[in-house]
Amino acid sequence: MKRLVALGALVALTASACSGSGHPATSSAPPSPTTAPREETKPAAERAPTLLPGMPRPLSPTDVWAADRPGQFAKAVRGVPLRIYVPNSGSNTVTEIDPRTYKVIRTFRTGREPQHVVPSWDLKTLWVNNDLGNSLTPINPVTGLPGRSIAVHDPYNLYFTPDGKHAVVMASNDKQLVFRDPHTMAVQKTVPVPCAGVNHADFAADGKSFLVSCEFSGQLLLVDTAAEKVLQVLKLPGMAGMHAPMPQDVKLSPDGRFYYVADMMSNGIWVVSTHPPVAIQDFIPTGKGAHGLYVTRNSRDLIITNRGEGSVSLFDFATRKVVKKIKIPGGGSPDMGGVSPDGNVLWVSGRYNSVVYAIRLSTGKLLARIPVGRGPHGLAVFPQPGRYSLGHTGVFR
């Protein structure tokens, strides 16, 4: 934290520069964890009983991930075979793996540079985000077969609003958030963003806002879900002696009080309050190249993939400490993935090793290292427990 305070002036200076974009910009020097706003003393779900209209009510007022327990499958995915869907960005293909046998079932071509495989809000379709191919390829999860691609410009990543009314395309190169029809993908509204590299996000417990990471400018955006506009721009301060921040995955804490943001250049996770205006609360080192974030099925731990050192960290939400680190034998580049429906296995792509890793979380044992195409990235484990999908590689509530 000492290094954060020393960089407070830099935070204010950079955020001020962003205010010229036409969007409201707010700077936030990182305060001491002991000076959190009074409103943060209760879980967000208790402080905000009103929800985004149309979104399903959370199953628990203290655990936004309560719908993700083992066995809690939605009706829409009953009978759907469990598969691992791997987009190979460098090969322009998707590989499907049978998790029971660790064998490749099929590999098919997609558009250029597929980045993520994203479950739709209603769990009936998997969308392959062909970033440079400017298209989305649908996959029928019942058959595992691809359908006809839909033209969508610059779909680096894809999310869905909690009410299921909109898809939100993270158009990284275009510097836009594009709200689209969640089924036809027709454009509903285009929102320019004052940052570079919009990529990952998560929604607040009440669904009224969401936090977006901008990897190339080291910024975070708070977006009003219903108004479809940027409310706040927050510049990450960075760490002394290290490269500028590069925020990646974003995940909400079970009690809804904090966002956790992986930063692959600061080698850890930022803790950000959720009540607007959002503010940095803390920084916690996890490992070199912190990248993907996944909540365990019991909502106790956050799994962090450390791509730069070939390891996976487990972070305890209650104590806010890293309680375990799993090192992949021989190293590797764990990137994006998901947890098996029973919560026992982490499936994660090896971005620079052309493999997929299956890791048993309880023991840290590497169960399999499966060759796939070049540049495997945002793989999806599907189906998983949960009532609906918020997007990315599978954020289920």
Ranges of each domain in the chain: 75-396
Name which residue leads in pLDDT, 351 or 240.
351
Q: Is the pLDDT of residue 2 over 80?
A: no
Mean pLDDT of 16-30: 33
Q: Half-sphere exposure of residue 304, counting CA atoms within 13 Å on the CB side? A: 33
- Residue 33: pLDDT band with limits 50, 70, 90: very low
CA-based radius of gyration for the chain: 19
The per-residue pLDDT for 92 is 98
pLDDT of 359-375, one tens digit each?
999 999 999 999 999 99
Give residue 15's pLDDT band: very low, low, confident or very high (50, 70, 90). Answer: very low
Confidence class of residue 35 from pLDDT cuts 50, 70 and 90? very low
In this prediction, residues 212-220 reach a mean pLDDT of: 98
What percent of the chain stands above pLDDT 90?
86
CA distance to 82, 217, 247, per residue, from 243 (Å): 40, 12, 12
- For the cut 80, the answer to whether the pLDDT of residue 261 exceeds it is yes
pLDDT of 41 above 90:
no
User: What number is the average pLDDT over the span 314-335?
Assistant: 97
Q: Report the DSSP beta bridge partners of residue 94.
A: 87, 108
The pLDDT confidence band at residue 42, using thresholds 50, 70 and 90, is low
Distance CA 337, CA 326 (A): 16
Backbone angles phi, psi at 280, to 5 degrees: -75, 130
Phi and psi at residue 294, to the nearest 5°: -140, 135
**pLDDT for position 239:** 77
Of 381, 377, 344, residue with least CA distance to 359: 344
Considering the chain, what percentage of its residues have pLDDT values greater than 70? Answer: 88
Average pLDDT estimate for 98-115: 98
Residue 238: per-residue pLDDT: 77
The strand pairing partners of 14, in sequence order, are: none
> In the prediction, which pLDDT does 77 show?
97
* Residue linked to tokens 């440079």: 132
Predicted local distance difference test score (pLDDT) of residue 49: 63
For range 1-10, the mean pLDDT: 37
- C-alpha 245/C-alpha 114 separation (Å) is 25
Q: Pick the range with the lowest mean pLDDT from 233-247, 298-312, 327-341.
A: 233-247
Name the DSSP letter for residue 375: S
pLDDT in tens, 61-78: 999 999 999 999 999 999
Looking at residue 43, what is its pLDDT?
Answer: 55
How confident is the prediction for the chain on average, in pLDDT? 90
Identify the DSSP state of 378.
B
Q: What is the pLDDT of residue 12?
A: 32
Give the predicted TM-score (pTM) of the model.
0.88
Residues 6+ apart with CB under 8 A from 97: 83, 84, 86, 103, 104, 105, 356, 370, 372
Residue 29 is which amino acid? A
CATH hierarchy code of domain 75-396: 2.130.10.10
